[in-house]
Amino acid sequence: MSSLNDPVKLPSGLVFPNRLVKAAMAEMLAGFWNTPTSSLLKVYEQWGKGNWGGILTGNVQVDVNHLGTPFDPALAGEYTDPESNKDLLATWKKYADACQEHGPPAIVQLCHPGRQSLRVAGRRGPFASPIAPSPIPLEMGDSFVQRWMSWFVFPPPREMTQADIDLVTRQFVDAARLMADAGFSGVELHGAHGYLIDQFLNPKSNIRTDVYGGSAAKRAKFVLDILREIRAVVPPTFSIGVKFNSADHNSASFEDTMTQIGLLDDAGIDFVEISGGTYEDPKMFDHPGQPAQSQPQEQKSARTAVREAFFLEFASAVRTRYPSLMLMLTGGFRTRAGAEYALSQNACDLIGIGRPAAIDPNFAKLLLDENLSESEAQLVLKRVAVPFWAKWIPLSAVGAGWESSYYTKQIQRIARGLRTILPV
């Protein structure tokens, strides 16, 4: 059976010394200027010492005018070349060095939020519209209050023109070139959690009738063009991955989803990370061993109840269709036994771990230490309690947002050299 300690080699030639990857999480440490700060570097130095096989950064936004949170690191302008952008390159090189100086390769998660850009996030101004493949607003409920609050937090988007698409494509390519020149080992295009690439891939948010919509292949054109153009300007040893939303096996769009993953495989992607959820339906914050509220406990199979991986069945389906595609599975892992189970099912090659890493930067060491028993090689995390006042806000994402904020604060405690606090 595959071991967590086994090295993994990507098609680009990049080698992860073991199978555990620190997954991307929001740090909110880039300050008002949205650049890598000393605090951001400090927390990545700690993760770099944690014996992770690889490190995925939190979101790096490709356009400072469109941010997911007000304090995301982002590119403020065009990147041309190392000589013309010496100061910019030096700043990001410090980030790459902090991540990798203790050994693990670091992959930068590149993102554009599209319609999921908070009204107060980004330099476009609070009254300017975000952009999206189609002018479909974010909806976090059907009631008047829910719709009004959704509008208040997330302004309705405008449909992207071809000029917008060309600009954003160039921004992704510029960002990837900068990360390669700075010394990072690769980039991951964030095509999950309802962000812009996911919005293009999803027929619910992409109702275009041009070359970017109308079929699974056309909806994938946006990300495939970005992938192709990045590959043309970075070294062949620079890895490119995509984070991809899982789909319900009973969904009518399942075959479309498999088609899109096949197109990524044909394009020569180095790895696909399987995750899931959006702001409208935040499945990425479900808890292992706990069914989603809409899913009665009796409907959960015995096998599902004991495993941790949120999206393991979907990853297994992808593996069956595309056996040579390198897969990372993220979401819900808390124990060595859970991670080993996912490997034993041949559902993935890499295990992505988020929230435990926000509590213990050395969590990978714990899982990899074969001298520890199964009961010792774990970190049990309770659901973060939502304050009483938040329960009166009728938005599905409030609880998920509160949970995300809790772990962001723990990351910030690591950056300040403070002990993290387990949820109680």
Give the pLDDT confidence of 222-272 residue by residue, as tens digits: 999 999 999 999 999 999 999 998 865 556 788 999 999 999 999 999 999
Q: How far is CA 191 from CA 178, 238, 242, 369, in A?
A: 20, 19, 6, 33
Q: Is residue 283 predicted with pLDDT exceeding 70?
A: no
Q: Give the model's pLDDT for residue 154.
A: 87
d(CA 289, CA 284): 14
Q: Which helix (H) or strand (E) holds 319?
A: helix 312-321
Look up residue 386 and give its DSSP letter. Answer: P
First to last CA, the chain: 36
**287, pLDDT greater than 60:** no
Backbone angles phi, psi at 202, to 5 degrees: -90, 125
Give the C-alpha separation, 318 to 107, whole Å: 22
Per-residue pLDDT band for 390 (boundaries 50, 70, 90) equals: low
99, with CB counted inside 10 A (0-12, 13-18, 19+), is: buried
DSSP lists the bridge partners of residue 55 as 22, 106
Instruction: Please check the confidence at residue 45 and state whether its pLDDT lies above 50.
Output: yes
Report the C-alpha gap between 113 and 90 in whole angstroms: 26
Domains and CATH numbers, the chain: 8-415 (3.20.20.70)
Sequence length of the chain is: 424
